[in-house]
């Protein structure tokens, strides 16, 4: 049997259609898009088209900027540091010194926010989630004050739990009071409806490899009127906001993946959600002492985070891997560590629950046959790990 990949929140395979769209830009269309001669024309037009595709995906107006970059880690660093550095006066932090973030943010948000606090003295406020893995909108809104808050940042969907965050309510409030709202949309793209995102978020970050595009390509969408200091000073690419020769094939791939995500979501999300629910029911029917972390909240259609009592996550992932099933213990960047899941702990759940949680994330290539096989594999793997403990 072919291996079954159930780790789509870590990364997705490149779709064949996206690879085909990229192919000319890895071959004959090699010109630098900034050059005036004919070799630059095709790549330049392709980049313009990709910008339109990203705008369509997020409902961005023509006056907003779509800045291509290497992915969301760069984009989110650019958003937070760019806003913070733009606010300094004579190198000093001003009255608006508070950075408000959710308590379940990816390191791509929490690490630059912490760095800004440590290096410059910005005040960092993290709003704790509830036991359902959702940041309460009222607590977040209470932490954001117009006269003192420089920026608020919240992810749309959690990478590990799949829980959906109240980004629209919070974003609209922030816009009303004039506080820039940064949304990490990495896990939401192609899974939930994002076409009104720019109506409530001022800065939006995404990574192509999370929605069947290439690795190393991302975009930051910035509403008109929001000023960011560039992270990469260099030549005039991306209106001087991100120097460095364009990754043309990557950008074209991102654009093609954006179009496909936009067009395919309505059909794909219910299909994957039905498979995910069948998997959850099948596992809970066969195996006792299983808990769905965050399962009572609204979650991404493809994501299941389960704790199996008596099964350390790393041991269970290894048993599943031996049987040909790729799942993960927490996020990809934490996976392989024997540490408890920081997200499950942040929800206020026990250390035991956090040490035994695994993430199963389905994707376009997941079939009903895979789901049946996965249930059987879990039953065997859990017995094996429990017998060893």
Q: What six digits make up the tokens of 316?
A: 């269970």
Footprint on residues 317-356 left by ligand PLP (CB under 6 A) = 331-332
**333 included as an active-site residue:** yes
Taking alpha carbons only, the member of 221, 223, 201, 200 closest to residue 66 is 221
User: How far is the C-alpha of 50 from the C-alpha of 52, rounded, in Å?
Assistant: 5
| 66, 108, 304, 315: residue in contact with ligand PLP (rule CB under 6 A) | 108
Q: Does 184 bind ligand PLP (CB under 6 A)?
A: yes
Q: Which is nearer to ligand PLP, 25 or 156 (CB)?
A: 156
User: 374 and 325 in contact (C-beta within 8 Å)?
Assistant: yes
Q: How far is the CB of 10 from ligand PLP (least distance, A)?
A: 7
b/e sequence 49-71, b meaning 16+ C-beta within 10 Å = ebbebbbebbebeeebbbbbbbb
What's the Cα-to-Cα distance from 10 to each of 23, 186, 211, 284, 363, rounded to whole Å? Answer: 24, 11, 10, 24, 11
**Binding segment toward ligand PLP, per CB under 6 A, in 34-42, 68-76, 233-241, 257-265:** 68-76
User: How far is the C-alpha of 224 from the C-alpha of 203, rounded, in Å?
Assistant: 10
Taking alpha carbons only, the member of 138, 68, 73 closest to residue 110 is 73
Query: Which contiguous run of DSSP H or E holds residue 126?
Result: strand 123-127
- Enumerate residues 6+ apart whose C-beta is below 8 A from 150: 83, 84, 87, 96, 97, 98, 99, 122, 179, 180
Q: Does 186 bind ligand PLP (CB under 6 A)?
A: yes
User: How far is the C-alpha of 389 from the C-alpha of 384, rounded, in Å?
Assistant: 9
| 106, 262, 265, 359: residue in contact with ligand PLP (rule CB under 6 A) | 106
Q: Which is nearer to ligand PLP, 108 or 204 (CB)?
A: 108
Q: Does 72 bind ligand PLP (CB under 6 A)?
A: yes
What's the Cα-to-Cα distance from 36 to each of 24, 165, 209, 361, rounded to whole Å? Answer: 20, 45, 31, 45
Q: Which is nearer to ligand PLP, 212 or 378 (CB)?
A: 212
**Binding segment toward ligand PLP, per CB under 6 A, in 38-46, 180-188, 226-234, 335-343:** 180-188
Q: Which is nearer to ligand PLP, 160 or 268 (CB)?
A: 160
Q: Which is nearer to ligand PLP, 21 or 186 (CB)?
A: 186
Helix axes 107-120, 72-87, angle to 10 degrees: 30
Footprint on residues 198-237 left by ligand PLP (CB under 6 A) = 207
| 155, 223, 265, 353: residue in contact with ligand PLP (rule CB under 6 A) | 155
**Binding segment toward ligand PLP, per CB under 6 A, in 44-52, 67-75, 292-300, 360-368:** 67-75
**Binding segment toward ligand PLP, per CB under 6 A, in 128-136, 183-191, 281-289, 359-367:** 183-191
User: How far is the C-alpha of 88 from the C-alpha of 102, rounded, in Å?
Assistant: 24
Q: How far is the CB of 155 from ligand PLP (least distance, A)?
A: 5
Q: What six digits make up the tokens of 262?
A: 């936009």
**Binding segment toward ligand PLP, per CB under 6 A, in 20-28, 184-192, 240-248, 306-314:** 184-192
Q: Which is nearer to ligand PLP, 187 or 305 (CB)?
A: 187
User: How far is the C-alpha of 128 from the C-alpha of 140, rounded, in Å?
Assistant: 9
| 77, 149, 163, 187: residue in contact with ligand PLP (rule CB under 6 A) | 187
Residues that bind ligand PLP (rule: CB under 6 A) add up to a total of 13
Q: Does 71 bind ligand PLP (CB under 6 A)?
A: yes
User: Interface residues with ligand PLP (CB under 6 A)?
Assistant: 71-73, 106, 108, 155, 159, 184, 186-187, 207, 331-332
Catalytic residues, by residue number, are 333
């Amino acid at each position: 049997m072919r291996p079954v990949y159930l780790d789509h929140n870590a990364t997705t395979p490149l779709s064949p259609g996206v690879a085909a769209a990229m192919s000319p830009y890895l071959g004959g269309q090699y010109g630098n898009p900034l050059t005036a001669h004919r070799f630059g024309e095709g790549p330049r037009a392709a980049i313009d088209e990709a910008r339109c595709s990203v705008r369509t995906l997020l409902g961005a107006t023509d006056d907003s900027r779509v800045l291509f970059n290497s992915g969301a880690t760069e984009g989110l660093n650019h958003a937070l540091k760019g806003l913070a550095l733009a606010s300094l006066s004579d190198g000093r932090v001003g009255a608006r010194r508070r950075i408000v973030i959710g308590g379940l943010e990816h390191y791509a948000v929490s690490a630059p926010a912490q760095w800004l606090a440590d290096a410059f003295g910005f005040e960092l406020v993290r709003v704790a989630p509830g036991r359902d893995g959702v940041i309460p909108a009222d607590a977040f809104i209470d932490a954001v004050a117009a006269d003192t808050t420089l920026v608020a940042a919240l992810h749309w969907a959690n990478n590990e739990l799949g829980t959906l965050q109240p980004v629209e309510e919070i974003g609209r409030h922030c816009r009303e009071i004039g506080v820039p709202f940064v949304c990490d949309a990495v896990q939401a793209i192609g899974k939930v409806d994002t076409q009104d995102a720019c109506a409530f978020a001022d800065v939006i970050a995404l990574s192509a490899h999370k929605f069947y595009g290439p690795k190393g390509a991302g975009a930051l969408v910035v509403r008109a009127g929001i000023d960011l200091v560039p992270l990469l000073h260099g030549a005039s690419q991306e209106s001087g906001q991100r120097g460095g020769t364009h990754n043309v094939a990557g950008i074209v791939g991102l654009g093609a993946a954006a179009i496909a995500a936009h067009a395919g979501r309505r059909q794909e999300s219910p299909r994957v959600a039905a498979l995910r629910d069948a998997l959850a029911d099948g596992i809970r029917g066969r195996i006792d002492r299983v808990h769905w972390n965050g399962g009572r909240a609204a979650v991404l259609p493809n994501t299941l985070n389960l704790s199996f009592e008596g099964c350390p996550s790393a041991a269970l992932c290894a048993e599943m891997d031996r049987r040909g099933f790729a799942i993960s213990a927490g996020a990809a960047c934490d996976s392989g560590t024997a540490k408890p899941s920081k997200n499950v702990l942040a929800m206020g759940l026990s250390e035991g629950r956090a040490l035994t949680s695994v993430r199963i994330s389905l994707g376009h290539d997941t079939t009903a046959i895979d789901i049946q096989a996965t249930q059987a594999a879990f039953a065997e793997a859990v017995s094996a790990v429990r017998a060893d403990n």
